[in-house]
Amino acid sequence: MPTPEKVQAVADIRERLEGAEAVFLTEYRGLTVSAVQELRKSVRESGGEYKVVKMTLTKLAAAEAGIEGMEDYLSGPTALTFAQDDPVATAKA
């Protein structure tokens, strides 16, 4: 039985997936904490959001949102970058 926190996390991820102009999957292995903080800051400034999320919850959210083919890329230390306004600016960040 899923916990209420996990159900809410899946709903939040699904909403972000559905509301984003584009979603980028990135591996963050090897990045220092300060590098990740700088990346989050630059993505935020470009109108996006950088989130490290549980892959199992992301797979469930993608399935609920009707997104197919994403499961193959959700392995290892993967983060999601949601581009809200300008996908190009977010990708450059």
10 Å CB burial of residue 31 (0-12, 13-18, 19+) is middle
List Cβ neighbours of 11 (8 Å cut-off, separation of 6 or more): 61
Q: Give the DSSP per-residue string, 40-76.
A: HHHHHHTTEEEEE--HHHHHHHHHHHT--S-GGG--S
Q: Look at residue 77 in the predicted model and tell me its pLDDT.
A: 85
Question: For the ranges 4-8, 21-25, 73-77, which has the lowest average pLDDT?
Answer: 73-77
The closest of 15, 32, 36 to 82, measured between CA atoms, is: 15
Share of the chain above pLDDT 70, in %: 99
Read off the pTM.
0.84
Q: Look at residue 35 in the predicted model and tell me its pLDDT.
A: 92
Q: What is the pLDDT of residues 20-44, one digit of tens each?
A: 899 999 888 888 999 999 999 999 9
